[in-house]
C-alpha cells in the first residue's frame, strides 16, 4: 500500500502534469491558429482580401477558442486534483468553486463566440 506522503506526491505530480498539459494546449493551439492564418493570408491575392473576414478570421477564432477551452478544462482538472487531494481546506474549496464558476462563464462565452449559439440550443441543420 502507498503511504499518505506517497499519495500526496503522486497527486501533486498529476496536478502539475495537468497544469503543464493545459498550458501546452493553449500555447500550441494559439500558435497553430496563427500559423494557419498567416499561411492562408499569404496565399491570397489582393482581390481576395474580403475572404479573410468571411472565412479565415472565423476559422482562426474557432481554432483559438477551442484550444483555450481545452486548456481551461485541463487547468480546472489540475485545480480539482490539487484541492481534493493536496489541500483540502475550506479556503481552497471556495477558491476552486470560484474558479469553476469563472471557467463555466468563460466556456459559455467562448462557445457563443465560436458557434454563434448557446451550447444548449439545437444546431441549425441545412434542409
Task: Work out the pLDDT band at 2, boundaries 50, 70, 90.
Answer: confident
Polymer length of the chain: 127
The predicted model scores a pTM of 0.76
Q: 121 in a domain, yes or no?
A: no
Q: 122 in a domain, yes or no?
A: no
Q: 124 in a domain, yes or no?
A: no
Percentage of the chain beyond pLDDT 90 is: 23
Q: 125 in a domain, yes or no?
A: no
**Which residues, other chains included, contact 118 with Cβ-Cβ below 8 Å and sequence gap of 6+?**
108, 111, 112
Provide the number of structural domains found in the chain. 1
Q: 126 in a domain, yes or no?
A: no
Average of per-residue pLDDT values in the chain: 83
Q: 55 in a domain, yes or no?
A: yes
pLDDT in tens, 36-86: 888 888 876 555 666 566 778 888 888 998 899 899 889 989 988 888 887
Tell me if 92 sits within 8 A of 25, measured CB to CB: no
Strands (E), 52-106: none
CA distance 68 to 110: 9
Domain range holding 14? Answer: 4-115
- Among residues 100, 109, 23, the alpha carbon closest in space to that of 67 is found at 23
Q: Give the DSSP letter of residue 48.
A: G
Q: 68 in a domain, yes or no?
A: yes
Amino acid at each position: 500500500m502507498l503511504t499518505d506522503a506517497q499519495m500526496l506526491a503522486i497527486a501533486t505530480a498529476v496536478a502539475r502534469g495537468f497544469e503543464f498539459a493545459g498550458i501546452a494546449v493553449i500555447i500550441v493551439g494559439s500558435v497553430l491558429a496563427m500559423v494557419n492564418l498567416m499561411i492562408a493570408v499569404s496565399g491570397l491575392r489582393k482581390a481576395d482580401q474580403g475572404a479573410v473576414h468571411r472565412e479565415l478570421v472565423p476559422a482562426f477564432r474557432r481554432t483559438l477558442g477551442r484550444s483555450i477551452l481545452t486548456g481551461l478544462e485541463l487547468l480546472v482538472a489540475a485545480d480539482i486534483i490539487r484541492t481534493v487531494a493536496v489541500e483540502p481546506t475550506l479556503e481552497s474549496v471556495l477558491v476552486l468553486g470560484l474558479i469553476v464558476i469563472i471557467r463555466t462563464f468563460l466556456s459559455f462565452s467562448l462557445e457563443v463566440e465560436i458557434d454563434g449559439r448557446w451550447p444548449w440550443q439545437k444546431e441549425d441543420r441545412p434542409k
